[in-house]
Structure 1
Amino acid sequence: MNAADGFEPLSQILLDDDFDRGLQGWTLLTGNYEGSLDTILPEQRDFRPPMLSNLTMWDTGTAGSLHGSYAMKLATRARRDSIAVALKRLTFRRAQPIRVEGWVTSKPEATSMTLSDRDVRSFGIFLDLQDDEHRVMPHLRFLNADGDGPPRHQWQYKASPRRAQTISSETRTHFHLGNDQWTDVPDGRQDLCYNELATKQNWHYLRVDFDLATMRYLEFQCNDRVWSGASLEPLTMPAWPNLRGMLNVGFWVDANTDSRSFLYVDSVMLSTGVIG
């Protein structure tokens, strides 16, 4: 089975990344700096990079990915609030609808023989876009748990950016993956399959449709649930220097406890064209 068989792309495919072929340009999101690494924001200095994994577990052995042997793995440190993030950088040719699809699964590190179902705080997907007037950053996350309370299982979006900080006349920076300023997606609670052990994983289908012409959400889907994007707002700010035409795609995961949290991405497809 080819990874593309699990997707429903629009008419033109821009990316078809199956991580059996390597990382294919997916890389660490490094905080902006100039002159010295000390200018990286403190929250961004320890972002963890993506790696390849064949999903080896201590009790079940090597499972491989959904469509083959390897997945892209994001792994936080064993520290609450630690973040791991992966980014693919490209630009767009036409301001029209785009569709991002992926098969993902999120798990805690199996360091104890417990369910550990609240160790992962959240995982999510984001875009980083810029046209002539605005930098626009759609962010969606699945909030699994937050603090010591019960599981949340809630989809959220982020519409309010933190104030950007200026490093120089040409370089700015801001932290946009923090556990703040999130808004619940209406009717956005969803119980995802979390199998009985921390060493078992079930893959989930994720899709985001976004219009580059209007810079608005169109729709997003996880498994059998579909939400309209009409009420969702992306992060929006005035255009930054040197970024016109940017079309970046990213995934991240963050830890709710002092245990490592993982996000595995089997494959990603980015396509563009007319929807409907």
Structure 2
Amino acid sequence: METHMLNAPPTDDLEAVLLRAMRLSNPELSRFEPLRRIISHDDFSRGHCGWSQLVGNYEDTLDSMLPGYAQHTSAMLSTLGHWDAGSHGGVDSSYALKIATRPRPGAQNVAIKRLAMRERGPIRFEAYVTFKPEATELKLGDTDVRSFGFLFDLQGGDRDHGVERVMPHMRFLNAGNGEHVQKWQFKSQISEMRKLGDTDKTATHYHLAPDGWEDLPNGDQRLCYNEIATKVNWNYIRFDFDLADMRATSFRCNDREFDISGFEPMRIPAMKNLWCMLNFCLFAETDVAKRAFLYVDSVCISGDF
């Protein structure tokens, strides 16, 4: 046997080397660190890429929808337009996804991507985001956005053992009552579940209610927020979760890796029509009577399977 064959790397190692080389040669993917298989790569210069309004459950009448959901509106494609210089644009294109709240203190808005899982293994959620209030005043407004964040909505398959609906939530609490807070929080407390209608097929709960958030240990972080109300800088977030064990494994924002050993997601008894659910959400919340914007340049969801 020839020497070069004896010294050849194992097939798995060779595959990893080739995948890494291919991704690093692609400018759109090289800003991410995906796991082995890319589930979706959402570059909003190509459109909404499956991200839509989080519509609350209802039955018989729209009035049965909880107020938290009734406030939501559709995410938009935006050039990050502003009055003093025209448009900011995305990281490397003209467009980003814009999630905008209503101009009311405490108002929230949520965009969602709805998928179903094919394997139970590690997944990774990565995104480039920025946040700011609507630039309606000639001042910075750096405490006008209360929070932004992300959440997953997960449930195993109909033949899995001990299935639960599991909902990891993470938010950056930027400010409250005009004062900076600037720390990461998670939420494991479950909101009240309400049944809708008389068919026992639909229930609802508003899991982004303001109560029940807990501080992530050593989760304080000051993010880049530029000097005037129309400037933005993009932040990188990465969250890893194991669908086999239904537990978080790591969280990173920009240059910081956080300890999530105390992180716990919401856990709810499995629901009868949500098998293999793999949903992802991004949200924004305002602290003042001014719209808060979460802009999302791109998202990469990947898995190790």
What TM-score bracket applies, with the shorter chain setting the length? over 0.9
- Among residues 173, 177, 187, which one is paired with 1:158 in the alignment? 187
Do the aligned partners of 2:242 and 2:249 also contact (CA within 8 Å) in 1? yes
Who is 1:96 aligned against? 121
Do the aligned partners of 1:218 and 1:228 also contact (CA within 8 Å) in 2? no
Name the SS of the counterpart of 1:196 in structure 2. coil
Gapped runs of 5+ residues in structure 2? 1-25
Structure 2 residue 38 is matched with structure 1 residue 9: no
The 5 Å alignment of 1:162-181 reads 162-168=191-197, 169-181=200-212
Quote the Cα distance in structure 1 between the aligned partners of 2:105 and 2:272: 34
Matched positions, count: 273
- For the aligned residue pairs, the C-alpha RMSD in angstroms reads 1.1
Name the SS of the counterpart of 2:180 in structure 1. coil
Name the SS of the counterpart of 1:152 in structure 2. strand
Quote the Cα distance in structure 1 between the aligned partners of 2:92 and 2:209: 32
Farther-moved stretch of structure 1 (181-190 vs 127-136)? 127-136
- Among residues 261, 265, 268, which one is paired with 1:230 in the alignment? 261
- Among residues 103, 121, 141, which one is paired with 2:171 in the alignment? 141
Question: Residue 229 of structure 1: CA displacement?
Answer: 2.6
Question: Residue 99 of structure 1: CA displacement?
Answer: 0.0
Gapped runs of 5+ residues in structure 1? none
Who is 2:45 aligned against? 20
Farther-moved stretch of structure 1 (57-66 vs 197-206)? 57-66
Quote the Cα distance in structure 1 between the aligned partners of 2:112 and 2:68: 17
Structure 2 residue 155 is matched with structure 1 residue 126: no
Question: Residue 3 of structure 1: CA displacement?
Answer: 2.7
Quote the Cα distance in structure 2 between the aligned partners of 1:58 and 1:141: 29
- Among residues 205, 223, 238, which one is paired with 2:236 in the alignment? 205
Quote the Cα distance in structure 1 between the aligned partners of 2:231 and 2:28: 21
Question: Residue 177 of structure 1: CA displacement?
Answer: 1.1
Who is 1:109 aligned against? 134
Quote the Cα distance in structure 1 between the aligned partners of 2:142 and 2:47: 29
1:209-237 CA distance string (max 9 Å, x none) = 00001110100100000113321000111
Quote the Cα distance in structure 2 between the aligned partners of 1:111 and 1:2: 35
Do the aligned partners of 2:149 and 2:171 also contact (CA within 8 Å) in 1? yes
Compare CA radii of gyration and give the structure with the larger one. 2
Structure 2 residue 275 is matched with structure 1 residue 244: yes
Name the SS of the counterpart of 1:144 in structure 2. strand
Quote the Cα distance in structure 2 between the aligned partners of 1:155 and 1:63: 27
Quote the Cα distance in structure 2 between the aligned partners of 1:36 and 1:186: 43
Do the aligned partners of 1:3 and 1:267 also contact (CA within 8 Å) in 2? no
Question: Residue 62 of structure 1: CA displacement?
Answer: 1.4
Quote the Cα distance in structure 2 between the aligned partners of 1:126 and 1:3: 24
Quote the Cα distance in structure 1 between the aligned partners of 2:88 and 2:170: 28
Structure 2 residue 72 is matched with structure 1 residue 47: yes
Quote the Cα distance in structure 1 between the aligned partners of 2:142 and 2:66: 31
Do the aligned partners of 2:216 and 2:260 also contact (CA within 8 Å) in 1? no
- After the TM superposition, which parts of structure 1 deviate over 2 Å for at least 4 consecutive aligned residues? none
Q: Percent identity?
A: 48
